[in-house]
Chains A and B, each alone.
Chain A
Amino acid sequence: MEEVATVGTTSWRERLEQAALAPVTKTSRAYYVWVAFLLIVIGWGVYAYSRQLQDGLVVTGMRDRISWGLYITTFVFFIGISHAGTLISAILRVSQARWRTPITRMAEFITLVSLICGALFVIIDLGRPDRLLNVIRYGRWQSPIIWDVLAITTYITASTAYLFLPMIPDLALFRDKLAGRVSGWRMWLYNVLSVRWQGTHSQWRSMGAAITTAMILIIPIAVSVHTVVSWIFAMTLREPWNSTIFGAFFVAGAIFSGVAMLIIVMAILRKVYHLEEYITEKHFVYLGYLLATFSLIMVYGNVSEYLTTGYKMSEGTEFHFRQLFLGEFAGFYWFYLLGGLVLPGLLILLPWTRNIWGVVAASVLVVVAMWVERYFIVVSGFRVPLMPYEPSTYAPTWVELSVMAAGFALFALLITLFVKIFPIIAVWEVAEDDPTTEPEPAVRLVPHGTAPEPAGGAGR
């Protein structure tokens, strides 16, 4: 009986390891086509950006009255997406939700990649990237811009650490399993990044302590990041941004869009790399519940925000409400409210659409709607006149659209390349949920049968 169980366990684990190794060892023609497509889009975006560098921001639709457009919209959107990793990985790890293990790595990938892409858009929006140094040379501690720079750089560092730490045992697995099967530079990379991991007791203990520290630290950092991003708006004298709940509203929206993006990436990678055994409908439905919860929170935020400001109805608010509900931004707003908050909630809560396709469809709607929400927050805020002049208009130019498309292509490309180089699944964490073994106490960090005592504090 024990012999049978051992054989079954080995088989399951081998399949798991093969699933993790497969993206690295096998490359289809479609992969090259996909990468080539992304490179073409990025190349076009680089050309558009070169035009902007050459001629200045006059090639964009931004002018003195509406001086933020697609770039800042996309920056806020990507920073929001970056909350996927924090929620799914850190918060669910803290709360000991075991179902998270197959998807944590993807969530952490998304976090890091979206932070990189988001930070790029701030530099792009500057017009002259060399002016970035002015933040260091002339920055003032009293400015939310400086707080933003501090928060985002700290978050990128913490996210990199939080992605890297749980990956060490898996990188060692790659180092051992892929020896002689991949190119020299990859082996060198795995050797370096696996930091001489041998799975000793002291190594497990150190890693457990480091993960615990990082996961506790990264949650307040992530919350601070999007709070500070919202303060860039809320601390500027613009009528539509005079809100005390902007911080909470932005954080909720960030987690909302982050979960949605994770579901989409999860669905794509599951399909492409045949991860159906590990990423099941359960994961989609559970994340769908999170999505539905946050859609309700977002609806509540909208009601609270607009009811309180509308009750007082200052002159600027009246103008803003008119443009938002009835005028230039009405299409955007009602799509966001109905298509991005109400409909996704219904898709998930109604039993006959509560499946993988229903959740993915809801997620696509949410991602699009959250980008739209960022757009009308940014642009409509600037459109409300500060003095008795005609309200200005904004229309993105081909340069902005091209650069934005390149940003999304870069996001997809980095995810694609990450998956091609690094373990897509947290093998050692998923291995703890081996269905063919006896249940273990939930506090164990190290694998069954390998440790004399728990490594301590890795949060399970």
Chain B
Amino acid sequence: MKSIVFTASAAVLALGIAALSLVGTARAAHIRVDLDVPEQAAIGQPMELQAHFHSESEAAIADMEVTFHEQVTFGGVTSDLELGRAVTDEDGFAALTYEPRTAGTHDIHVRYTYADGEEEDAAASLTVPATGQQLYRSTAGVKIPGLNVWLLMALVATVWAILLSVAFRVIAIAHADASPPMGRAGSIGSK
């Protein structure tokens, strides 16, 4: 199992120290998060995402609501897709069942808000190998013998052959023998 240890944001810490030096109050926002994602993953196979929250002194952080997200890109727009929510147990563990739907690298995030009110997150990458397997199998369509593209082509070819026969008739008109006309040429009305 791959583990990535996340240390709460250095920027937040720096801001906290700065605030402490200015106002003289202390804030304990420093917690550690271990976000674990499985090393073996497959499209359509459920797996468990697990995050362990504990303090610097290894004390478990219980009853904290966390959300799991995935960074997704669709139509050229990248955004967060919320996968689900969980609450840490007495040992500081929060877990979520997840089913990857596409191959490739998935950026999984877990977000939480601790005592200082600032939202923080931890991230891990999940790699799903491409196997050629499709998550969704289309069952639409009924195969009827003979009903295929060749039937369409035969139909179109027949229509155009008939049109060609009309063209041959026009050629026949142009090459008709010089038998006596049935009426004045064109006027057809020399009654």
B183 proximal to A (CB < 8 A) = yes
Interface-located stretch among B29-37, B55-63, B126-134, B172-180: B172-180
**Known contacts A161-B166, A197-B173, A221-B159; is-contact A448 B191 (Cβ 8 Å):** yes
State the interface size on chain B (CB cutoff 8 A): 34
Is B162's CB under 8 angstroms from A217's CB?
yes
Give the CA-CA distance A210 to B162 in the complex, in Å.
Answer: 10
Interface-located stretch among A103-111, A172-180, A358-366: A172-180
Give the CA-CA distance A194 to B189 in the complex, in Å.
Answer: 16
Residues of A near B191 (CB, < 8 A) are: 6, 9, 13, 434, 437, 447-450
Most B CB within 10 A of own CB, among A168, A200, A207, A217: A200
Is A447's CB under 8 angstroms from B170's CB?
no
Give the CA-CA distance A17 to B184 in the complex, in Å.
Answer: 13
Residues of B near A165 (CB, < 8 A) are: 166, 170
Residues of A near B24 (CB, < 8 A) are: none
A51 proximal to B (CB < 8 A) = no
Residues of B near A447 (CB, < 8 A) are: 182-183, 188-189, 191
Q: Which of B141-159 contact A (CB under 8 A)?
A: 149, 152-153, 156, 159
Is A446's CB under 8 angstroms from B167's CB?
no
Q: Mark A399-421, 1 if CB is under 8 A from B, else 0.
A: 00000000000000000000000
Give the CA-CA distance A400 to B186 in the complex, in Å.
Answer: 46
Give the CA-CA distance A141 to B149 in the complex, in Å.
Answer: 6
Q: Mark A1-36, 1 if CB is under 8 A from B, else 0.
A: 000001001000100010000000000000000000
Contact of B182 among A9, A199, A206, A437 (CB under 8 A): A199
B85 proximal to A (CB < 8 A) = no
Contact of B166 among A168, A169, A214, A221 (CB under 8 A): A214
Q: Mark A190-212, 1 if CB is under 8 A from B, else 0.
A: 00001111111111101101100
Most A CB within 10 A of own CB, among B156, B160, B165, B183: B183
Nearest A residue to B169 via CB reads: A210
Nearest B residue to A162 via CB reads: B166
Is B181's CB under 8 angstroms from A198's CB?
yes
27 contacts between A and B (CB under 8 A): A17-B187, A141-B152, A141-B153, A157-B163, A161-B167, A164-B170, A165-B166, A172-B186, A172-B187, A194-B186, A195-B174, A197-B186, A199-B185, A199-B186, A200-B177, A202-B179, A209-B169, A210-B169, A210-B173, A213-B166, A213-B169, A217-B162, A427-B188, A427-B189, A446-B188, A448-B191, A449-B191
| Chain B residues at the A interface, C-beta cutoff of 8 Å | 75, 149, 152-153, 156, 159-160, 162-163, 165-167, 169-170, 172-191
| Chain A residues at the B interface, C-beta cutoff of 8 Å | 6, 9, 13, 17, 64, 141-142, 147, 150, 154, 157-158, 161, 164-165, 168-177, 194-204, 206-207, 209-210, 213-214, 217, 221, 427-428, 431, 434, 437, 446-452
